[in-house]
Structure formats: C-alpha cells, structure tokens
Amino acid sequence: MSNAMLKFVTVGQTMPRKRSADARRDDFEEIYDEFAEEKAAEQASRCSQCGIPYCQIHCPLQNNIPDWLMLTAEGRLEEAYEASSATNNMPEICGRICPQDRLCEGNCVIEQAGHGTVTIGSIEKYITDTAFERGWVKPAAPTQERSETIGIIGAGPGGMAAAEELRRKGFQVTVYDRYDRVGGLLVYGIPNFKLEKDIVARRENLLRDAKVEFKLDFEVGRDASLGELRQKHDAVLIATGVYRDRDIAVPGAGLRNIVPALSYLVASNRKGLGDSVPEFENGDLDADGKHVVVIGGGDTAMDCVRTAVRQGAKSVRCLYRRDRANMPGSMREVSHAEEEGVEFVWLSAPEAFLGDEAVNGVRAHRMRLGAADATGRQTPEPIENSSFTLECDLAIKALGFDPENIPKLFGEPELGVTQWGTVRVNWKTMMTNLDGVFAVGDIVRGASLVVWAVRDGRDAADSVAQWIDRKAERDESANAASVAAE
C-alpha cells in the first residue's frame, strides 16, 4: 500500500472552490473551479483503497477508481489518465455531470464511515482536463484499418462512445444526426453551468481526427430509411436517445406559456451558442421577469429551475409530488438550486392551470405518501380540500421523456419495440431483432444517465465487431463449400 494513501483521518474533504450563488445567478459558467494539482493529489490521498471498492461497483462503467486515485496521489497523472480513459470514453464529461452522490461517491466507504466521501468526480474531471492541456489525449488510431463500415444513428454520448471504440478496432464509421451539432443532449439539453459546450466540441474534434465521419442535419426516415442504411453499411447502431416530453392531463394544459422542458432547455442552449432562436427572442421561452413554476423532480427539472434563475426570473418554484427524500434528482443539484434562490414546493401536484389565453397561475393540491408500489416507492395521494394557487407566467413540464415511434420514424415496421416503445435488444449483444442492427442508451433503457449510454456504446462496439467477424467466417465457409461443390 502506497504511503500516499489512507489519509482520510487527517485530511478533510474539500471540493474545488465553488463560486458564490450571487455570482452564479448572473451567468451560465460552471460553478466549480478546477482543482490545483496539489489539492487534487491531497484529496485523492484520502482514498482508503478498500478491498471491495464500492465506488467502482456502483459505477456503470466499472471505472478503476481506486487505481487512478492512487496514481493521482502519487503525482503520476499521465498514468492516472490512462487508467481513467481505459474504461471511459469521456471521463471529463462524466466527472462534470454524473450524479456522483447517487453512484460512486454515495457508496464510498469513508463516506459511510462519516469522514466525507472522496471527491471522485472533481478529481476525474481534473485528470482528463490536465491530460488535454498537456497533450496526452490522442485520437483513436487503429493498428490495422478494416474495410467494413458502420452507420451510427445519433451523435449523443452513446453514439460517440461507440464510434470511438469502433474506430479503435479499425472500422470505417459514419455518424448520422438530425441536429446541426455533435453531442445530442450534451449540447442541447444540459446547461452550460453543468457542462460548457467547448468540452463537448473537444471530444468531437478528437473523433474527427480519428477519421469518424459525421453527417449532420440528417434525419433517418427523411433523408434515408433504416433499410437504406442497412444496405449501405455492414452494421447499423441506433443511439437516438429519447426526446418525446411526457405531458400532463389537467384542465388548462393547452394555455400558452406552458412548455415542455426540452423545448425550454434547447432554446436556452441554442441562444448561448449564438443561434437565432425566435421563440426565445419573442419571450415565449425566456424566463426573464416571469414567475416560473417547474413541474417535476428529476435532473431535468433541476436544469430548468437553475436556467430560469440565470435568465432573470422574478421567482422560481419547483412543484414535486413527493418529498425531498424521494426526489429522483441529485441532492447535490437540489442544494445548488436552493442556494441560487429556487423554492421547492414538496408533496404538491398540479390540479389545473389557470388563465384565459396564457397561464397566470397553477392550482395545486397537497399530497401524502401512501402505500408502496411495485418498485417499493410510496405512491403519492392527493389530500382532500388542500388546494392552493401559485402565481405563474411560465410553466415548464419536466415530467420525463418517452421514445418516439422509431419503427414508423425510420420506415422500418419490423423493428421490435417493448411495451414502453423502447427498442428491444438482446442485452448480451445489444442487437435488435433485425440482423446487424444494434441499439444503445436511452432508446433501449428509457430516459437514463449519460454514463449508462457510454457503457452501452462500448459494449455494443464489441458486439458489432464480434458479429461482423462471425459473419465473415460464415461467408468464407459458405464460399469454400460452394467451390468444393463445383
């Protein structure tokens, strides 16, 4: 055991410097500064190097967290980067946006012992940012090029991870996306204060340098059907994500200024990228000077409330039907939002939207938690005669996302889907019912985490390679049998 480790008893937990709430409310910059090298090493040295690393077990990517913490503590940063990137195609992004309090850090042994978790996410971010600065990050360079081509539908995290892994194996990769930029929700769904867009662009450039081809503003079903892509490529990978906002059926839901979360976030991010956004510029999707009510309790709701604060809303309230302990979003995000002035209205659900043409209020009722459902979560139940009204000029529905009708959208009715509309796959291979068509990320899981999309993309790349190799062997055997028969 290195003498650099096990210092959690003498070294307290420290995060990078967090900007004040007053400063954060005025811009969309990231809220944490970068660790200084000595601070990163000091915080990494707090790791207890447990025999059973629960941080690693609870990471969807099974990252070798104790290893790269030890290397960081010893000042061996290039080796730490190599260990970190061996299991993760975008550690600096996961270090910024993963809900570490629910995953690695929340399961850290010294956190459970009361010493405060190792700040894994901040160190992970620091390692790779430093690697980029010092030129250690190189594009994927296969030892041998292959002739087979792979088409990937979707340039989000799952598609990007798969593209890098497939290029590393030597395949020719083309990524199709209906948006005009690479990154999917990393660019258009997640606000800058969590993930600045040049971080995503840096990954895009790395993929382009690796000779991944991107075809943007390309919509499968409009510019080509899935069947046509199957004819063009040796294998196809679907990594579209889920983009259809869930709705709410209450009186007044059709009033103006009641908007889906994704429309609101995309408008804000596009504006930040310098695009012309008419719906923002005419005030429809701008919270400036408005009383904002966000309905929902997940990470998307947190992105919405914190964006509204930065846009200059008069007030921002988050209406959630369960209590704080049962909120699905990151508790760290909730704390950031509270610091920035967001009011949480717990155990409350909308009963109706009020107004003539545009919304001017939300009538809600109080809830209580009743019996547990099949998942073990207590079911919210309305309390009679508990209605109250919140002033509201802009209501944002952050109730989650469902998949679009992919078989219809892609012109491929034979593509199998589940009862929830997600693409059905064999979880061992990530292949759909269509031979040579694979799927990953939210389109198979439902709305989930970026880190799971990266994991799926990596797994699917291995499965695609194995499938192509087996197909080549079968074709070779068939050709040999045909020659012998002649």
In tens, the pLDDT along 114-139 reads 999 999 999 999 999 999 999 999 99
Predicted TM-score (pTM) of this structure: 0.94
Neighbouring C-beta atoms of residue 468, cutoff 10 Å: 19
pLDDT, average across residues 329-358: 96
Percentage with pLDDT > 70 across the chain? 98
- pLDDT confidence of residue 7: 85
> What is the residue-averaged pLDDT of the chain?
95
Categorize the per-residue pLDDT at 263 as very low, low, confident or very high, splitting at 50, 70 and 90. Answer: very high
How many angstroms separate the CA atoms of 457 and 209, rounded? 19
pLDDT, average across residues 448-466: 97
Q: Is pLDDT at 413 greater than 50 in this prediction?
A: yes
Residues 363-395 have pLDDT tens digits of 999 999 998 888 888 899 999 999 999 999 999
pLDDT, average across residues 343-350: 97
- pLDDT confidence of residue 2: 53
Q: Is pLDDT at 100 greater than 50 in this prediction?
A: yes
Q: Is pLDDT at 92 greater than 50 in this prediction?
A: yes
Categorize the per-residue pLDDT at 1 as very low, low, confident or very high, splitting at 50, 70 and 90. Answer: very low
Residues 106/119, Cβ–Cβ less than 8 Å: no
Q: Is pLDDT at 403 greater than 90 in this prediction?
A: yes
Write the single-letter amino acid at 14: T
Task: Report the first-to-last Cα separation within the chain, whole angstroms.
Answer: 67
| Domains, the chain, ordered by start | 21-133 (1.10.1060.10), 149-242+403-477 (3.50.50.60), 249-401 (3.50.50.60)
416: its two tokens = 């199998």
pLDDT, average across residues 53-58: 96
Residues 327/338, Cβ–Cβ less than 8 Å: no
Categorize the per-residue pLDDT at 342 as very low, low, confident or very high, splitting at 50, 70 and 90. Answer: very high
Residues 236-250 have pLDDT tens digits of 999 999 999 999 999
- pLDDT confidence of residue 444: 98
Categorize the per-residue pLDDT at 3 as very low, low, confident or very high, splitting at 50, 70 and 90. Answer: confident
